[in-house]
């Protein structure tokens, strides 16, 4: 394991992209940063600008309008960037999969590194997903 | 010549103050986490952040705007902070630079990082960065006059000495300046000026991440952002030690006194962190009137009291 890789693993900064979400996943993601689960123990921070991000967290169903935004955000991110799809909507489309305006699950638009299914996934599941992501780097 | 380069690059300059500042930054984050009943990051977290940004991430240049100034601004910020650290820390470690009036030079050098953040944000061509830059500019205009009055108060208390080395030796021969009414008032003013200079929470409207998404630093990524982090680490160390030198008697580096020196810096940083964690972000208008009216008033009262000998 090289030094670069080690530092990258130890400080993943997260940018949160919410598609047409019902807000449950957003709440669970915020829950990960609160005292009970505290992801800052692993150096994970929520940042405000995509230019500082190492992980792009996508949740919610991606509809036609969101698709362009998501592509733009992904292209603006400094590489290497990891993409995590959270929740049933992000992973497969969930109950919106056959909707008129649905523009495909996240992995049809941008490459995805980790999937965390659930509606919404528990904070424990999100942490488990992030551990797997860190191990795969 | 070699010894000056050593001063600038290794000991009290760039390397030493950056490493100490990184540990202080960890301390700040850990205290923040403990205040919120969290566990907080590991000890080496600031180093991981810095090396990740420096070695791993890609640099993205703005399409509109001036790439040259955009890349030069973080370097200027680090250079200004490193120069200021030499001027502040040499007297603190009991090495006389033999330079009269270095308080004025330190005052100018300490503004360089903020100015280069403004230059960098305006060169990035991003509208949110422009908002952040203009807020930073207003903030500088409001706190710099207060900071100058604060320094004037110190100079009155040190009976007209402009030299940091003699300010410290006056305190060590008599009593620390904070042990008087005017000293306490000056300490309050100084703490708020430092808070604004560091861009910590009540005064972080220039980089409000929830509102204008990191404002001044929105376009920075990779190595330039690592340079900005480095400048912030250095500032987090040298501003509290400047306050310790001006009001808290400086350092004595003998035996148990080393512990006192560490505790002084840690105490000032703890105070800054607690202010940061217990206050909401102010609007820029509120910050301007806070410094222009209330802090200036307090500083003037302190100067008058110091002149009368209290």
Among candidates A112, A78, A135, A133, which has minimal Cα distance to B53? A78
| Tens digits of residue pLDDT in B115-170 | 999 988 888 888 888 888 888 888 898 899 999 999 888 888 888 888 888 888 88
The whole-number pLDDT of residue B310 equals 76
Output B253 or B144, whichever has higher pLDDT.
Answer: B144
Tell me if B219 sits within 8 A of B126, measured CB to CB: yes
| Tens digits of residue pLDDT in B21-41 | 999 999 998 998 888 888 888
Nearest to A7 among B56, B60, B217 (CB): B56
The whole-number pLDDT of residue B203 equals 85
- What is the C-alpha end-to-end distance of chain A, expressed in Å? 10
The whole-number pLDDT of residue B297 equals 92
B residues 198-217 closer than 8 Å to A (CB): 209-210, 213-214, 217
Residue B227 has pLDDT above 80, yes or no: yes
Residue B281 has pLDDT above 70, yes or no: yes
Calculate what percentage of chain A has a pLDDT beyond 70. Answer: 99
The whole-number pLDDT of residue B214 equals 78
Asked if B52 lies within 8 A of A11 by C-beta distance, the reply is yes
Asked if A52 lies within 8 A of B48 by C-beta distance, the reply is no
| Residue that the structure tokens 């394991």 belong to | A1
Among candidates B215, B204, B196, B197, which has minimal Cα distance to B121? B215
Instruction: Provide the Cα torsion B19, B24, B30, B31; round to 10°.
Output: 180
3 state DSSP class of B188 = helix
Residue B250 has pLDDT above 80, yes or no: no
Asked if A40 lies within 8 A of B38 by C-beta distance, the reply is yes
Q: How many Å lie between the alpha carbon of A39 and the closest alpha carbon of chain B?
A: 8
Counted domains in chain B: 1
DSSP string across B193-224: HHHHHHT-GGG-GGG-TTTSTTGGGTT--SHH
Residues of A within 8 A of B44 (CB-CB) are: 10
Neighbours of B109 (CB within 10 A): 21
Pairing status of strand A114-116 against strand A82-86: parallel
Pairing status of strand A13-18 against strand A55-59: parallel
Asked if A43 lies within 8 A of B48 by C-beta distance, the reply is yes
The whole-number pLDDT of residue B10 equals 78
Average pLDDT over residues B89-109: 80
Q: How many Å lie between the alpha carbon of B115 and the closest alpha carbon of chain A?
A: 21
Asked if B48 lies within 8 A of A11 by C-beta distance, the reply is yes
CB-based contact (8 Å) between B59 and chain A? yes
Nearest to B58 among A4, A11, A79 (CB): A79
Q: At what angle do helices B181-198 and B257-277 cross, to 10 degrees?
A: 60
Angle at B41 between CA B39 and CA B44, to 5 degrees: 145
The whole-number pLDDT of residue A1 equals 64
Nearest to B60 among A6, A11, A78 (CB): A78
CA distance B48 to B25: 12
Q: Provide the domain limits for residue B84.
A: 2-308
| Tens digits of residue pLDDT in B166-199 | 888 888 888 787 878 888 888 999 999 999 888 8
Among candidates B117, B164, B155, B173, which has minimal Cα distance to B306? B155
Range ranked top by mean pLDDT from A16-25, B206-215, B273-282:
B273-282
A residues 73-102 closer than 8 Å to B (CB): 76, 78-80
Calculate what percentage of chain A has a pLDDT beyond 90. Answer: 0
Asked if B42 lies within 8 A of A8 by C-beta distance, the reply is no
| Tens digits of residue pLDDT in A14-48 | 888 888 888 888 888 888 888 888 888 888 888 88
Domains, in order of start, for chain A: 13-122 (3.40.50.12280)
The whole-number pLDDT of residue B26 equals 92
CA distance A116 to A82: 13
Asked if B56 lies within 8 A of A76 by C-beta distance, the reply is no
DSSP structural state of residue B117: H
| Tens digits of residue pLDDT in A113-130 | 888 888 888 888 888 888
Asked if B221 lies within 8 A of A78 by C-beta distance, the reply is yes
């Amino acid at each position: 394991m090289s030094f670069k890789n080690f530092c990258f693993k130890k400080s993943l900064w997260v940018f949160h992209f919410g598609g047409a979400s019902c807000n449950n996943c957003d709440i669970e993601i915020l829950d990960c940063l609160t005292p009970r689960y505290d992801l800052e123990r692993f150096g994970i921070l929520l940042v405000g600008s995509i230019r500082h991000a190492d992980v792009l967290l996508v949740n919610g169903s991606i509809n036609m309008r969101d698709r362009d935004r998501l592509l733009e955000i992904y292209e603006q991110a400094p590489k290497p960037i990891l993409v995590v799809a959270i929740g049933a909507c992000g992973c497969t489309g969930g109950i919106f999969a056959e909707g008129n305006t649905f523009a495909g699950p996240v992995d049809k638009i941008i490459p995805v590194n980790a999937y965390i299914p659930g509606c919404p996934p528990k904070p424990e599941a999100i942490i488990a997903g992030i551990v797997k992501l860190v191990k795969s780097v | 010549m070699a010894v000056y380069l050593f001063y600038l690059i290794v000991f009290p300059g760039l390397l030493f103050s950056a490493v100490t500042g990184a540990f202080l930054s960890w301390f700040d984050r850990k205290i923040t986490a403990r205040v919120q009943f969290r566990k907080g990051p590991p000890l080496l977290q600031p180093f991981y952040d810095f090396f990740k940004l420096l070695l791993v991430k890609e640099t993205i240049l703005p399409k509109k705007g001036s790439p040259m100034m955009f890349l030069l601004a973080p370097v200027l910020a680090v250079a200004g902070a490193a120069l200021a650290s030499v001027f502040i820390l040499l007297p603190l470690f009991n090495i006389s630079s033999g330079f009269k009036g270095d308080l004025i030079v330190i005052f100018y050098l300490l503004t360089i990082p903020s100015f280069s953040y403004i230059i960098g944000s305006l060169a990035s061509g991003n509208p949110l960065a422009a908002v952040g830059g203009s807020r930073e500019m207003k903030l500088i205009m409001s706190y710099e006059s207060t900071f100058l009055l604060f320094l004037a108060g110190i100079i009155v208390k040190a009976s007209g000495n402009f030299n940091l080395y003699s300010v410290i030796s006056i305190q060590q021969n008599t009593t620390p300046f904070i042990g008087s009414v005017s000293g306490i008032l000056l300490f309050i003013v100084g703490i708020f000026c430092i808070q604004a200079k560091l861009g910590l929470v009540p005064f972080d409207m220039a980089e409000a991440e929830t509102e204008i998404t990191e404002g001044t630093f929105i376009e920075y990524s990779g190595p330039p952002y690592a340079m900005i982090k480095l400048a912030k680490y250095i500032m987090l160390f040298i501003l509290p030690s400047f306050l310790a030198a001006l009001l808290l008697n400086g350092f004595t580096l003998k035996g148990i006194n080393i512990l006192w020196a560490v505790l002084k810096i840690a105490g000032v940083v703890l105070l800054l962190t607690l202010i940061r964690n217990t206050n909401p972000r102010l609007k820029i208008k509120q910050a301007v009137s806070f410094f222009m009216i209330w802090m200036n008033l307090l500083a003037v009262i302190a100067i008058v009291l110091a002149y009368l000998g209290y």
